[in-house]
Amino acid sequence: MTYEQSTSPWRLGGLSGTELGRRVWSGINEDEVLDRAAALSYYIVFALFPGLLFLCSLLGFLPIQGLQQTFMNYLGRVLPGESHALVQKTLQEVLHGSNASLLSVGAVVALWTASSGMAAVIGALNVAYHIHDPRPWWKRRLTAIVLTFGFSILLLAGLVLMVFGPKLGDAAANRWGLQSAFHVVWNVVNVALPVCFVLAAIALVYYFAPATKQGWHWVTPGSVVAAVLWLIVSFALRLYVTSFANYNATYGSLGGAILLLLWLYLTGVVLLLGAEINSEIETAAAQRGNESAKPAGEHRAAA
């Protein structure tokens, strides 16, 4: 019996949860995910501050007071304390040392530099999808720049919604005389929408980064697993550092940098894990006769 023609990745390619887990575990070992995540964290650390500078430059163009500090406060909720202090101090030194015109020009340079980290993500995801990328270097770099910009815009939209969502809900309720039930519904929506923006940002990377044929889905099992695990890992690391370990006492002033590298490494692991999940689902669906799914190793036709 042929596999039912369905484009939904939530059918798991016809696999059971146990079989998918077994395949993903095999793929993690075969594709050396842990080693590639370490290499990925090396490239991302060089792109991190330019990426944050670019994002803060975008925030600066919005006529909203204190939005940059609000962004740093939210970042502090996922980063370990020492790493957050290091990132905030460095970023403030750069921002305060630049005037508006230089910051505008610097945003373009920062976007180019930050795209190097996304270029490393593209290479790592091609391995997860068992792809030899046929695209020329300039097309890969252009893809990295567009993905970096799109990722930043989605994160920015989620941030603005988190900050102004309650005020928008109050304004709508007062204007149209809505009942208290509206506030309950709006509060749920106001939490859910930023999460959707984050999932869409991850889906954007998973879709455009690897040079492989695949259908577009706003939410995939891989993106959900990556987002949830990233939050769990971030908070677990923060809790561990706060309650059980003192990296500053052990490593001195290098403690914040070491924790930042560890956090980036774990971020790379969950990002590649999500890609492995999506890749195995696509491959299994193709093996079961789904014409819309791609066989392992199939890439996009060169434009």
Q: What is the pLDDT of residues 132-170, one digit of tens each?
A: 888 888 899 899 989 988 887 887 777 667 666 666 666
Q: What is the pLDDT of residue 85?
A: 74
pLDDT exceeds cutoff 70 at 182 = no
pLDDT of 173 reads: 67
Residue 191: both structure tokens together:
């939490």
pLDDT at 15: 86
Collapsed DSSP state (helix, strand, coil) of residue 255? helix
- Which residues, in sequence order, are CB contacts of 261 under 8 Å at separation 6+? 41, 45
Q: Which of 39-48, 86-95, 140-149, 156-165 has the highest mean pLDDT?
A: 140-149
* pLDDT level of residue 3 (50, 70, 90 thresholds): very low
Nearest CA-CA partner of 88 in 72, 74, 99, 77: 72
What pLDDT sits at residue 185? 73
pLDDT of residue 19: 92
Interval 274-298 mean pLDDT: 74
Helix and strand numbers (H, E) in the chain are 10, 0
Range list of H helices, 13-80:
17-30, 33-61, 67-76
- pTM of the predicted model, to two decimals? 0.75
Selection from 136, 114, 150, 143 nearest residue 209 by Cα: 143
More confident residue, 256 or 146: 146
What's residue 4's pLDDT? 43
